[in-house]
Structure 1
Amino acid sequence: MPDLIAQGPRMSDRWRRALPVANEADQPAPSVCLGRAEGTWQIDWDDRISRRHALVTLQSDGKVLIERLESGRNPIFHSGQRRDRFTLGAGEHFVIGRTTFTLAQRPVVNADSAEPLGVTEHAFDRAALRRQGFRDAARRIDVLSRLPDLIAGSSTDTELLVRVAGVLLQATPDASAVAILQVLDQDADPDDGGAVDVLHYDSRSADSQGPNPSARLARRAVRSGESVLHLWGSGSRRGSGGGTAYTASEDVDWAFCVPIRSDACRGWALYITGQLGIHGGASLEQSLQAAPTDLQDDVKFTELVATTLGNLRQVRSLQRRQAGLRRFFAPVVMEALATRDADEVLEPREADVSVLFCDLRGFSRRSEEASDQLLDLLTRVSEALGVMTRHILDRDGVVGDFHGDAAMGFWGWPLDQDDAPGRACRAAIAINEEFLTAATGANRPMSGFRCGIGIATGRAVAGRIGTIDQVKVTAFGPVVNLASRLEGMTRPLSAEILIDEATADFVRHSLPPSVARVRRLLRVRPAGFQAAIDVCQLLPPAGPQSPLADADLLRYEAALDALILGRWDEAFAALHEVPAADRAKDFLTATIARHGRVPPPGWDGVIDLPKG
């Protein structure tokens, strides 16, 4: 894999990044932009590089195409000449301003199929490292103090690994190269093989490929959970008679690997390799013996970097999970989840819930009328669904699911809510009011749409289904089916909001008439139901949105009582005293008229409601 290395005037002014490859064989690789603007491969240390200076594109032959953009003010030099467009091969470089860019091949991981010769292994005890202080504490502390801000400022994992590798190279003077590796099969025997991927690689020298990381060393460190150091004697170097292909090369004496102990970085490890510092006339053998102690500060520092990296990715993982949950949970629920174990809280369990189904009316007709403007229709439907979910979340509910052009929400889980029916009813009234208001404005995106809402309260199983990354929360049980059926009844019964008796009882005793009113609408036996149910209508306070006075509701309920008792003439007369604006009375009036104002044989006060 080809990497591009940028090196500025200072040693710290550098990065190494992998060039993107084509996603498909017959497609070109995506280009990257060099510059100082956000969204580019930034070279923020060089003011001679423009905000967007040049494009870099990997070609099918392995070479890289460099193209200067019109916005690139200063020239690009390649092979000593100003060039606006040219190709670059492995090991070649070009210069912009005070920065040199070199194309290098990323080393692969050595398979280490044979036991290496002349290698000494040393494992570091974590507890002992923590007790041991830094010998150059001032310098280490200075770097550590800047580490969280430095790597936390990266917006992507790729940028994060670039910064981590840069920090480790700067903080480890004798290091030749740094790699972030991932051991794919952590349970495999370290000596029996197993794939190891290079997530990122950086070396101090841009002129050579750099030493290959050792798969065996990475596997041993990850498997043991300890930092492991390998040292090579003079006989184990390439070209010096040892003949081993194990990580060692002419300019490498040691390598150590530090595992990242975090669920967010499973199998990850930081791998650093370099040369021994031979001082004071010491022999190579003496330096090898002293290496575990001499490298102890570097290993300890790398462990701190590994801990910081693991914690940061763990936090980001939690943030991604919370971002996904915000689609379903209100802020107050999210706050509660933040103080408890989310997996335990979201585990499916039985709970007393109030379920709301809200269906969009007019969608089929609008889709036929707008068949040549489907994107515009999608925008309007999305806004309508957004109204439903917003009011569910505003009342601390859970958005359970979407069914075509309908939304389902519920209350009472994952937190117990004694006032769950009231919250559901307040949400329903607010949703319906917003739809009614929008229907009067021709230029409003939701104009032409209405809604039907059903609410039921009872026992259900609620919880999370799916995986952590593809989480979905919903509720199961007869109460959910009942809420859905109530929503389906709103059309034939000409009522915007229908609720079951359990929800209606809460409204009567716990919500003031200034918030909501309720009336018994009829007793029905829906298709597929064995038992009859009492269907009630939820109404807003008397006013512009509800022209019916409280006395009108009492007249309707008196008519319903007469109908149930079989006094249909009395019921028919009473219904005609209810204002004509009450469309819900039409269903009973039509039913009585269809039977000639005479109850059918075996009348039990229940109307059988056909399906559909």
Structure 2
Amino acid sequence: MLELIAQGPRSSDRWRRGFPTPKDGSGLPAAVTLGRVEGTWKTDWDDRISRQHAVLAVQADGMVNVQKLPTAQNPIFFRGQEQDRFALSAGEHFVIGRTTFTLARRTAARPAAGPLEVTEHAFDREALRRQRFRDAPKRIDMLSRLPDLISGSNSDSELFVRVVGMMLQATPGATMVAIVCVDEDLEGESDQADVQVLHYDSRSTVDQAPNPSARLARSAVQRGESILHLWGGAGRREGQAGAYTASEDVDWAYCVPILAESCRGWALYVTGQLDVTGGTFLEQSLMAAPLDLQDDVKFTELVATTMGNLRQVRSLQRRQAGLRRFFAPVVMEALATRDADQVLEPREADVSVLFCDLRGFSRRSEEASDHLLDLLNRVSEALGVMTRHILDRDGVVGDFHGDAAMGFWGWPLDQVDAPGRACRAAIAISEEFLAAATGANRPMSGFRCGIGIATGRAVAGRIGTIDQVKVTAFGPVVNLASRLEGMTRPLAAEILIDEATADFVRNSVPSSLARVRRLVRVRPAGFSGAIDVCQLLPPEGPQSPLANRDLLQYESALDALILGRWDEAFAALHEVPAEDRAKDFLTATIARHGRVAPTGWDGVIDLPKG
């Protein structure tokens, strides 16, 4: 794999990036842009590089074409001459401003070196934690910048570049730093196929970059501890003053596993040379190496821990973001602090259930039979209005039934004001549909809604079969809410609520937010007993044609009807404004019986199944 190394005027002005994996099936990596803004391979330390300076594209022959962009203000120098377009080979470089860009090939893990003698030292994690840094201020400064450095990475490849670059800067004795990944499902110690180099950077020239030891990486990850390897004996050559130099210009390497589920099999690998200057013998350096390197190992362990923890948090955040499509925010809040099985376990709870059905769907579907996708988009927008207002008031969307949505409150967290939340959501939904009905160009124009709300005991939680589950509620109160929604059509009222919900509104919701009136006592088909049906209305004002005195007039007519005084009830209903469509149900019932209560009248109107 080809990589590009950028080196600016300071040692910290550096990165090494691999050309991205191809996505178009051509087998060639995608082109990349050098520059100083997001979306480019940023070199923001050099103001002589333009916001978008050059495009680099890998060719089939392994060369990289470099093309200067028209937006670039300063020249590109290649082989000592100013060039706007040229082909770059591995090992070659070009210069823009004060930054040198070198093309390199990615190294791979190497198998264990047979003839070399290896001394192994494992570091005790607790002992390292107790050990103080000898250069504490510098190390602490580096670690304080690490969270921002990692959290600012918008991809794993960017994360690797930043961490490796920082580690190389923070470890002066390191020749090379890498992030490796060990496939723990594969076995064998002589094959490097199970060790992948995710990213690395080296101080060496391109042709002399050391290769990570697969044996060391595998051992550290499998044992879950930091391990140091020191090379000595065969394979070395004697130099002046008894100093020795290992093959590949490295004498030691240590590997620190990243112990986080989100980084399974990952490790930080650091290698470098012993200090054998000033007459120091190799044997002396080998003996002192574990002590000399323990600060670097401890620092690397802290980097590994921070990297693993922050990446774990990011993994959980991504997982939660994905779950938001399936769970309401109030459920996500509960899942964040408690065990998921405990939260989702079905349990009894006092809930308020809201059913909202789309009116006008059947007629619109017939009219739009040739434009069904457009109709689907309009229905989706209408359902989105329902669900948005349910979720905005900390409700749970329990289910969709064709062109209807069901939401409920009171689970997974107890909500003593669940009826009030349901009613506020219902009024907001109704008002948005009403506003859309006056706009011919709005996607929801032509649609109205019917809403039923009931409050009572239900079982809520994860409900379903072994093959499929969903989070919802079930019980008589759910059936009642559904029946109330079904009654909105014959009773000509948009929002109907049961008596339990109405009591809460009367006692706990200011009339400036919502009003309630008793509408009728009915015995729905399939119900053995009577239920009191109430209507939820917006506050007195422009949104409602009925004044408070009109509601009192209607309720006095209802009382007379229940007591069997139908003539009196009929007269009282005529005092209610004609804009009140809900009164038409009682007026028609009385007129159908000649204004005389039927024999055996018990104050309850039998409602046929609609």
TM-score range relative to shorter protein? 0.7 to 0.9
Matches within 5 A, 1:91-240: 91-110=91-110, 118-185=117-184, 191=189, 195-208=194-207, 210-235=209-234
Q: Kindly tell me: are residues 55 and 404 of structure 1, through their superposed partners in 2, closer, same or farther at Cα, counting changes over 3 Å?
A: farther
Aligned residue in 1 for 2:271? 273
Spell out, residue by residue over 1:46-84, the C-alpha distance to the aligned partner (whole angstroms, 9 max, x if none): 222110011223345544332221111222233444433
* Contact 2:21–2:29 (Cα < 8 Å) also in 1: yes
| Structure 2: runs of 5+ lacking an equivalent | 239-245
Spell out, residue by residue over 1:90-114, the C-alpha distance to the aligned partner (whole angstroms, 9 max, x if none): 33333222222222222233466x9
Aligned residue in 2 for 1:296? 294
* Contact 1:526–1:532 (Cα < 8 Å) also in 2: no
Spell out, residue by residue over 1:165-193, the C-alpha distance to the aligned partner (whole angstroms, 9 max, x if none): 0011111122222222334437x768598
**Structure 1 position 329, deviation (Å):** 5.5
Q: Which of 388, 409, 417 does residue 411 from structure 1 map onto?
A: 409
TM-score, structure 2 as length reference: 0.82
Q: Kindly tell me: are residues 12 and 541 of structure 1, through their superposed partners in 2, closer, same or farther at Cα, counting changes over 3 Å?
A: closer
The 1-side partners of 2:561 and 2:208 are apart by: 91
RMSD, matched Cα: 4.2
Aligned residue in 1 for 2:283? 285
Moved more, 147-156 or 570-579: 570-579
The residue identity in structure 1 corresponding to 2:508 is S
Q: Kindly tell me: are residues 140 and 455 of structure 1, through their superposed partners in 2, closer, same or farther at Cα, counting changes over 3 Å?
A: same
Aligned residue in 1 for 2:506? 508
Moved more, 570-579 or 137-146: 570-579
| Structure 1: runs of 5+ lacking an equivalent | 241-247, 467-471
* Contact 2:255–2:268 (Cα < 8 Å) also in 1: yes
The 1-side partners of 2:247 and 2:486 are apart by: 75
* Contact 1:507–1:518 (Cα < 8 Å) also in 2: no
The residue identity in structure 1 corresponding to 2:351 is V
The residue identity in structure 2 corresponding to 1:347 is L
* Contact 1:400–1:408 (Cα < 8 Å) also in 2: yes
Q: Kindly tell me: are residues 596 and 286 of structure 1, through their superposed partners in 2, closer, same or farther at Cα, counting changes over 3 Å?
A: farther
Other structure's SS at 1:53 match:
strand
Other structure's SS at 2:176 match:
strand
The 2-side partners of 1:65 and 1:404 are apart by: 56
Q: Which of 472, 476, 489 does residue 473 from structure 2 map onto?
A: 476
Instruction: Give the number of equivalent residue pairs.
Output: 593
The 2-side partners of 1:10 and 1:190 are apart by: 42
Other structure's SS at 1:297 match:
helix
TM-score, structure 1 as length reference: 0.81
Q: Kindly tell me: are residues 579 and 195 of structure 1, through their superposed partners in 2, closer, same or farther at Cα, counting changes over 3 Å?
A: farther
Q: Kindly tell me: are residues 579 and 206 of structure 1, through their superposed partners in 2, closer, same or farther at Cα, counting changes over 3 Å?
A: farther
Aligned residue in 2 for 1:55? 55
* Contact 1:37–1:51 (Cα < 8 Å) also in 2: yes
**Structure 1 position 396, deviation (Å):** 3.9
Q: Which of 530, 543, 557 does residue 541 from structure 2 map onto?
A: 543
The residue identity in structure 1 corresponding to 2:19 is L
Aligned residue in 1 for 2:437? 439
The 1-side partners of 2:88 and 2:401 are apart by: 54
* Contact 2:397–2:472 (Cα < 8 Å) also in 1: no
**Structure 1 position 497, deviation (Å):** 0.9
Aligned residue in 1 for 2:243? none
Q: Kindly tell me: are residues 173 and 107 of structure 1, through their superposed partners in 2, closer, same or farther at Cα, counting changes over 3 Å?
A: same
Aligned residue in 1 for 2:451? 453
Other structure's SS at 1:235 match:
coil
Percent of aligned positions with the same letter in both sequences?
72
Q: Kindly tell me: are residues 599 and 82 of structure 1, through their superposed partners in 2, closer, same or farther at Cα, counting changes over 3 Å?
A: farther
* Contact 1:102–1:206 (Cα < 8 Å) also in 2: no
Spell out, residue by residue over 1:187-218, the C-alpha distance to the aligned partner (whole angstroms, 9 max, x if none): x7685988444332222235137333334433
The 2-side partners of 1:85 and 1:19 are apart by: 19
1:10 aligns with 2:10: yes
Matches within 5 A, 1:248-259: 249-259=247-257
Other structure's SS at 1:428 match:
helix
* Contact 1:348–1:464 (Cα < 8 Å) also in 2: yes
The 2-side partners of 1:399 and 1:543 are apart by: 31
* Contact 1:495–1:537 (Cα < 8 Å) also in 2: yes
**Structure 1 position 226, deviation (Å):** 1.7
The residue identity in structure 2 corresponding to 1:16 is R
* Contact 1:345–1:414 (Cα < 8 Å) also in 2: no
